[in-house]
Amino acid sequence: MGSQIRLLGLCLWMYLACLSFIGVGAVYGREGEVLEGIVLVHGKTAIGRIDDDSICATLDWWPSQKCDYGKCSWGHASLLNLDLNNKILLNAVKAFSPLKIRLGGTLQDKVIYGTEDCRQPCTPFVLNANEMFGFTQGCLPMYRWDELNSFFQKAGVKVVFGLNALAGKSIKSGSAVGPWNYTNAESLIRYTVRKKYTIHGWELGNELCGNGIGASVAADQYAFDVGALRNIVENAYRGFEHNKPLVIAPGGFFDSDWFKEFISKSGKSVDVVTHHIYNLGPGVDDHITEKILDPSYLDGEANTFSSLKSIVQSSATSVKSWVGEAGGAYNSGHHLVSDAFVYSFWYLDQLGMSAVYDTRTYCRQSLIGGNYGLLNTSTFMPNPDYYSALLWHRLMGGRVLSTTFYGTKKIRTYAHCAKQSKGITILVLNLDNSTTVEVNVALKFNKLPYRRVGEPARREYHLTAPDRNLHSQTMLLNGKILSVNSAGEIPPLDPLYVNSRKPIIVGPLSIVFAHIPNVLLSACS
- The catalytic site residues sit at 207, 325
Please answer whether residues 233 and 272 qualify as being in contact, where contact means their C-beta atoms are separated by less than 8 angstroms.
no
Kindly state the DSSP code that residue 334 receives in the 8-state scheme: -
Its sign, for the CA torsion 467, 469, 472, 477, is positive
Kindly state the DSSP code that residue 275 receives in the 8-state scheme: E
| Angle subtended by helix axes 256-266 and 302-314, to nearest 10 | 30
Whole-angstrom distance, CA of residue 362 vs CA of residue 339: 18
Within 10 angstroms of residue 510's Cβ, the number of other Cβ atoms is 24
Please answer whether residues 35 and 437 qualify as being in contact, where contact means their C-beta atoms are separated by less than 8 angstroms.
yes
Within 10 angstroms of residue 19's Cβ, the number of other Cβ atoms is 16
CA nearest to 112, candidates 59, 181, 190, 196: 181
Please answer whether residues 323 and 354 qualify as being in contact, where contact means their C-beta atoms are separated by less than 8 angstroms.
yes
What length is written for the chain? 525
Q: Number of helices (H) and strands (E), helices first, in the chain?
A: 11, 27
Whole-angstrom distance, CA of residue 148 vs CA of residue 161: 12
- Residue 83 φ then ψ, to 5°: -75, 100
Whole-angstrom distance, CA of residue 206 vs CA of residue 248: 11
Enumerate residues 6+ apart whose C-beta is below 8 A from 454: none
Task: Give the alpha-carbon dihedral of 195, 201, 202, 206, to 10 degrees.
Answer: -140
Please answer whether residues 209 and 253 qualify as being in contact, where contact means their C-beta atoms are separated by less than 8 angstroms.
yes
CA nearest to 311, candidates 273, 367, 340, 341: 273
- Report cis status (omega within 30 of 0) of the bond before 366: yes
| Angle subtended by helix axes 219-236 and 256-266, to nearest 10 | 40
Q: Bridge-partner residues for 415, per DSSP?
A: 401, 426
Whole-angstrom distance, CA of residue 47 vs CA of residue 339: 32
